[in-house]
Amino acid sequence: MSTETPERLRIGQLLLYHLRLFREQLLAEARNGPSADGFELRMPHLHVFGNIKAEGTRLTELASMAGMTRPSMLALVDELERHGLLERRPDPTDKRAKLIALTATGWEAIRTGRSIIEAIEADYSRRVGSERFESMCQTLQELLDDLSGGAVRGTPPPRSPR
């Protein structure tokens, strides 16, 4: 058995630690910005905002994507709905089901989050160099797409009002 210290952490640890640091930085920046009705974004809320689709998402799917129980996700959705960030809509594919969707205020939170994320990425890029940072991101995207069996992309930005 080797007693040498590895040159780097294993991929799971790297991703986990970076995700924690990234989320902490995102929340810290979000807390420094304007807040609707005194609402304070917390770490669990990122499970909703990070997984919701532009057209809306069923509660069970949100819970599954976040690795949470349905009751835990329901509590988050209820809280975000009370603060005007989410709403429930009928699912056009199944009249018995509801979709959890972003409100106009929710989309504004997404736009704010994206702006913060752009600043965080610019900081990371500055720290390691833009070519290395972009190469790392592209490699992770390719690996994610390959492991998932298809392109995995986030929620598109909201359409501009006409």
Q: What is the mean pLDDT of residues 18-42?
A: 85
Q: Kindly state the average pLDDT of the residues 26-47.
A: 83
- Collect all residues with Cβ–Cβ distance below 8 Å to 36 and sequence separation of at least 6: 83, 84, 85, 105, 109
Domain ranges of the chain: 11-147
pLDDT tens across 143-161, in order? 999 999 999 887 665 554 4
- Tell me the pairing of strands 94-102 and 86-91: antiparallel
In this structure, are residues 86 and 73 in contact, taking their beta carbons and an 8 Å threshold?
no
What pTM, to 2 d.p., does this model score? 0.83
* CA gap 45, 89 in Å, rounded: 20
**CATH 1.10.10.10 fits domain 11-147:** yes
Mean pLDDT for 39-56 is 92
Residue pLDDT, tens place only, 74-115? 999 999 999 999 999 999 999 899 999 999 999 999 999 999
